[in-house]
Amino acid sequence: MPKHLSQKIIAVLFVIIFGLSACQTATPDPVTTEQTMQAAVALTLTAAPTLTPIPTATSTATPTASPTPVTVVYGPTNFPPNINPLTGLEVEDPAILDRRPVMMKVANQAGGRPHAGLTNADIVFDYYIGNGLDRFVALYYGKDDSRVGTMRSGRYVDIPLTQMYQSIIGIISAWKPELDRFLGTLGGRVVNAEHCNDQFKAICDDGPNTETSVFGNTAEMTAYYASKDYATNDKPNLDGMAFATIAPSGGVPANQFTMRYGKNINHQWIYDPATKKYMHWIDEVDSNGDSRMIPLVDRNNDEQLATSNVITIFAKLNVLNGDTDSIHEYEIVATKGRALICRDGMLYDVFYKTGWDTPIQFFDAEGNPFHLQPGNTWIHLTGVYSKVEQEPAGTWMIRLRLP
C-alpha cells in the first residue's frame, strides 16, 4: 500500500475513534483536562529521525518466551488475594501485599548507569527534570529488591505520585522548598538518605560517597517504616487498574516507540513478539558528543530491561524557574487527560484519570476500563504541548515540548 494512503487510513481511523474535528497546527494550544476527555489531539504523522539500536557487548539475549496458558482478566476491582493489583500477576507470597508500596528515586545520568533493581519494579515513572534530563521513581509492591539505584533527590511530582499509590518513598533529600513540601505533605512516609544504621539499611552509600554511590533496599524501607509508632502499614486499597492477556481492539501497529526528552535523552522501546515485551534501549554518548542507542541493562542481573506496557501521560507541565529550567510541576492530581499505551505491538489512544489516593486509571473512548497486558509498566510523563510523530508506519516518537 502506498505510504501516503496508509497515513490517510490511520488518520481517518483516529478521527472515527476519537471524534476529532481539527488537526494540530504548528503552534498548538495545550489541551485542557476537560477538553482532553472529550477529544484527543490528532496524532501528527510527520517525518521523525530514526534512532537505530546498535547491539554492543552489553546487549543480552532475548528472554525466553513465557506463554500464558489461559486467558486471564483482572480488575479494576475485586482482585484475588494473591494477585498484585498493580501488575495483574500472581505473587509468590500474598503477605507481601499487606504493606504500603515502596517508591525509590533513581537517577538517569550517564555516570550512574547501568541502573540497579529496575527489573523488579511494578511500575517505573519517568519524567523531565530540566536541561534535557529525566529521572525515575520506581514502585515496588509485588516484589522487593535489595539494591536499587543509583538514588537521587526528590521532585515535586513525586509527592502526588506517592499519595496516589499510598506508598512510602525513599529519596536523597531535595531542594529545601521541595523537601519542606515532602515532609509537610507525606510526613513519616518519607525515608531520607540518613536512614542507614546497624539496624536498618534502607538507603546507604556503598563506600565511595559520590552522587552515584547510594542505593536503596526496598525490604529495609518497609521494615524501617513499620518500626515507627506512626506507621499505618495496613493493606492499602489499590483498585483501579485493569489487566487482560488478550489485547483490546482498536489499536494501530507500534513495533517501535521513542520518548525524546532532549538531544541525548531518548528512551526507545522495540517490541519482541516472542515475549510480548518491549525491550528498552537508551542513548550512549561518546567523547565526541555523538549518540547511539544501546540496551538499557539492570546491573543486578546483566539483563536488558523489558516491560509489558509502555504508557505516555500528557499533563500540564509548569516550568517554575524559566531562567534555569530546573524546577517543574506536573498537574496530575484529580484530573483527566490523554494517554498513549503500547502493548502487544499495538498503540492505543486512550484517556487517564487520577484521584488523590488511587492508582492512575485508563479508559477507552467509550469510557470502559482499558486493559493492560499483565506485567510491569513504564510510564513516561510529558507535557500537553509534546508532539506525536509516526514515520515509518509502526514507528512512533514523542518529542517533549515545554510551554
Q: Where are the alpha helices (DSSP H) in 68-193?
A: 158-164, 176-186
Confidence of residue 212 (pLDDT cuts 50, 70, 90): confident
80 HSE (CA, 13 A, CB side): 11
Higher pLDDT, 68 or 83: 83
In this predicted model, what pLDDT tens digit does every residue of 228-261 receive, in sequence order? Answer: 888 887 789 999 999 999 999 999 999 999 999 9
Higher pLDDT, 319 or 17: 319
Report pLDDT for 61: 52
Which H or E run contains 16? Answer: helix 3-18
Report pLDDT for 85: 98
Q: Into how many domains does the chain fold?
A: 1
Instruction: Identify whether the C-beta of residue 104 lies closer than 8 Å to the C-beta of residue 137.
Output: yes
**Residue 193 phi, psi (nearest 5):** -65, -25
In this predicted model, what pLDDT tens digit does every residue of 269-303 receive, in sequence order? Answer: 999 999 999 999 999 888 787 888 999 999 999 99
Instruction: Identify whether the C-beta of residue 203 lies closer than 8 Å to the C-beta of residue 230.
Output: no
Instruction: Identify whether the C-beta of residue 139 lies closer than 8 Å to the C-beta of residue 103.
Output: yes
Instruction: Identify whether the C-beta of residue 322 lies closer than 8 Å to the C-beta of residue 128.
Output: no
* The pLDDT of residue 39 is above 70: no
Confidence of residue 262 (pLDDT cuts 50, 70, 90): confident
Instruction: Determine the Cα–Cα distance for residues 307 and 344; give it in Å rounded to an integer.
Output: 11
Instruction: Determine the Cα–Cα distance for residues 403 and 206; give it in Å rounded to an integer.
Output: 40
Confidence of residue 111 (pLDDT cuts 50, 70, 90): confident
pTM of the model: 0.83
CATH number at residue 46: 3.50.90.10
Instruction: Determine the Cα–Cα distance for residues 114 and 129; give it in Å rounded to an integer.
Output: 19
Report pLDDT for 149: 86
Report pLDDT for 65: 60
Q: Minimal CA–CA distance to 220: which of 203, 236, 206?
A: 203
Report pLDDT for 194: 64
Residue 283 lies in domain: 1-403
Instruction: Determine the Cα–Cα distance for residues 19 and 41; give it in Å rounded to an integer.
Output: 10
Point out which residues pair with 342 in neighbouring strands. Answer: 310, 347
* The pLDDT of residue 71 is above 80: yes
Lowest mean pLDDT among 58-67, 92-101, 138-147, 315-324: 58-67
Higher pLDDT, 195 or 153: 153
In this predicted model, what pLDDT tens digit does every residue of 72-105 receive, in sequence order? Answer: 899 999 999 999 999 999 999 999 999 999 999 9
